[in-house]
């Protein structure tokens, strides 16, 4: 059965964006960017909300691609053909390898788990991940914790006050002080 993963960057106080919606505090250095490249290799399909989908369209922009570094070209070569499911109440069309979700996140996960394949179903975005977490659909949490306190913003974890036991699978400390944690949900 396919594993559902939620992987995002987080401040030490638990937020993925600052109070103004900014993410500039979490710009990855070369070492962290390489870890994103390695992580995306195991993904079969990526779920995104509208905001993240629109942000990630940057990788499909031919004008931007002209200035990509070697690592950025490698990322784009993996990201662009990757099947994506976009959850949006406002978009009527998407482009490239993306499609609009036709059901709830639970419906989409159930459908994909019924298909052959063992690659991961990755979820991007805290709001979308909160819906999956509330339905007990996330199998692994992967977080890169940046050494910064934001004091507010959008939280990484769903605030539904439900206890979830986790098993530590991996830790890594990057040269810039970012800590990577990978946990499996204990069922």
The mean per-residue pLDDT over the stretch 135-152 comes to 96
Of 74, 73, 72, 96, the C-alpha closest to 85 is: 96
pLDDT in tens, 31-76: 999 999 999 999 999 999 999 999 999 999 988 999 999 999 999 9
Q: Is the pLDDT of residue 109 over 90?
A: yes
Question: What's residue 117's pLDDT?
Answer: 84
> Domain span at residue 89?
4-10+24-185
Instruction: Quote the number of domains for the chain.
Output: 1
Per the domain annotation, does 93 fall within a domain?
Answer: yes
Nearest to 15 by CA among 151, 141, 181, 125: 151
Residues with Cβ within 8 Å of residue 41, at least 6 apart in sequence? 78
* Confidence (pTM): 0.92
Instruction: Look at residue 94 and tell me if it is in a domain.
Output: yes
pLDDT at 9: 96
Q: What is the CATH number of the domain that holds 181?
A: 3.40.430.10
Q: Is residue 17 part of a domain?
A: no
Q: Is residue 18 assigned to a domain?
A: no
Contact status, residue 153 vs residue 18, Cβ threshold 8 Å:
yes
Residue 132 forms part of a structural domain: yes
Instruction: Specify if 16 maps to a domain.
Output: no
- With respect to residue 71, please indicate whether it lies within any of the assigned structural domains: yes
Give mean pLDDT, residues 174-178: 97
Q: Is residue 58 situated within a structural domain?
A: yes
| Residue 98 pLDDT grade (very low, low, confident, very high; cuts 50, 70, 90) | very high
Structural element, H or E, at residue 131: helix 126-134
CA distance 156 to 123: 12
């Amino acid at each position: 059965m396919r594993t559902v993963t939620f992987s995002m960057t987080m401040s030490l106080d638990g937020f993925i964006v600052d109070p103004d919606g900014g993410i500039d505090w979490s710009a990855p250095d070369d070492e962290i960017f390489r870890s994103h490249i390695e992580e995306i290799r195991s993904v079969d399909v990526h779920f995104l909300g509208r905001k993240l989908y629109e942000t990630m369209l940057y990788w499909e922009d031919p004008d931007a691609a002209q200035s990509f570094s070697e690592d950025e070209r490698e990322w784009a070569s993996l990201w662009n053909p990757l099947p994506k499911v976009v959850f949006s109440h406002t978009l009527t069309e998407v482009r490239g390898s993306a499609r609009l979700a036709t059901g709830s996140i639970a419906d989409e996960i159930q459908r994909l788990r019924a298909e052959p394949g063992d690659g991961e179903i990755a979820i991007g975005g805290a709001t979308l991940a909160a819906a999956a977490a509330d339905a007990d659909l996330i199998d692994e949490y992967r977080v890169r914790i940046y050494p910064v306190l934001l004091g507010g913003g959008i939280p990484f974890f769903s605030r539904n006050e439900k206890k979830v036991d986790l098993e530590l699978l991996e830790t890594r400390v990057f040269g810039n002080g970012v800590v990577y944690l990978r946990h499996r949900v204990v069922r």
